[in-house]
Amino acid sequence: MTDRRRRAAAVVLVVHGTRLPSGVTAAHDLAARLTVRLGTPEPVRLAFADLRPPNLTETLTSLPARRTVTVVPAFLASGFHVRSDVPEQLLRAARPVGATTLTSPLGPDPSVVDALVARLAEAGARPGDAVVLAAAGSARAAARAEVTGVAAELARRLGRGPIPVAWAAGPRGPSPEEAVAAARRGGARRVAVATWLLTPGLFADRLHRAGADLVAAPLGTHPGVVDALARRATEVPALVA
């Protein structure tokens, strides 16, 4: 797809599904902010990877067959949805060859890490606080490695030693509760949780029950997130289908 066609393409933002109204609202807000950031007259469409309609297949089949489309996966790591679920939903739409492009995921973009640092500061984190980075879990080693890299970058940005990662779900530990307890056993007087999640939902709610002194809000519509998504929407695609 040429640069001109990418600029004219319809944009579909794919996010984690959620049953919580606050998470659905946050996803729609993110799509609206991305529309403004891209400066396109056509609104960015929203699709959910799971749990609620419309999914990506349904969204793509609702568009004219010859309409060029750019699909942007708003996921913070290359787990199941990015590597399997989203591409499979795209292919099930059976659109004409070359009509649809799939970008790389949001991932650990520096602008998104900017948002992470900002959310932690907004929550009231202090220089002496112990910090735990909390993320959604994944069975995929590559996805976990990406999050571990984010923890290292966050530590560098904050000018401190290693920051442990906690997993809100999935087969690997430690859990947020375990990571916070470990920080307290290590002598921390205050523990802050940096939230590597995009929108509110069950995972984000769990962090507030982990026993930390403060929990940063999800990244949401922070300008760093919106800027990174806008770059994805106009970059060379990861897949043309």
pLDDT tens for 61-111 read: 999 988 999 999 999 988 777 777 888 999 899 888 778 999 989 889 999
Residue 2: what pLDDT?
47
Number of H helices, E strands in the chain: 10, 9
Q: Is the C-alpha dihedral spanning 92, 98, 104, 110 positive or negative?
A: negative
pLDDT tens for 134-171 read: 999 888 888 899 999 999 999 999 999 999 999 998 77
Which CATH entry fits the domain spanning 110-215: 3.90.79.10, 3.40.50.2300, 3.40.50.1400, 3.20.20.120? 3.40.50.1400
pLDDT band with cut points at 50, 70 and 90 for residue 240: low
Same fold, 3-107+222-240 and 110-215: yes
Delimit the domains of the chain by residue range: 3-107+222-240, 110-215
Angle at 121 between CA 113 and CA 205, to 5 degrees: 80
Residue 49: what pLDDT?
92
As to burial, measured by CB atoms within 10 angstroms (0-12 exposed, 13-18 middle, 19+ buried), residue 187 is exposed
Model pTM greater than 0.85? Answer: yes
pLDDT tens for 192-219 read: 999 999 999 999 999 999 999 999 999 9
- What torsion do the CA atoms of 48, 210, 120, 225 make, to the nearest 10 degrees? -10
What's the length of the chain? Answer: 241
In CATH terms, the fold of domain 3-107+222-240 is Rossmann fold (3.40.50)
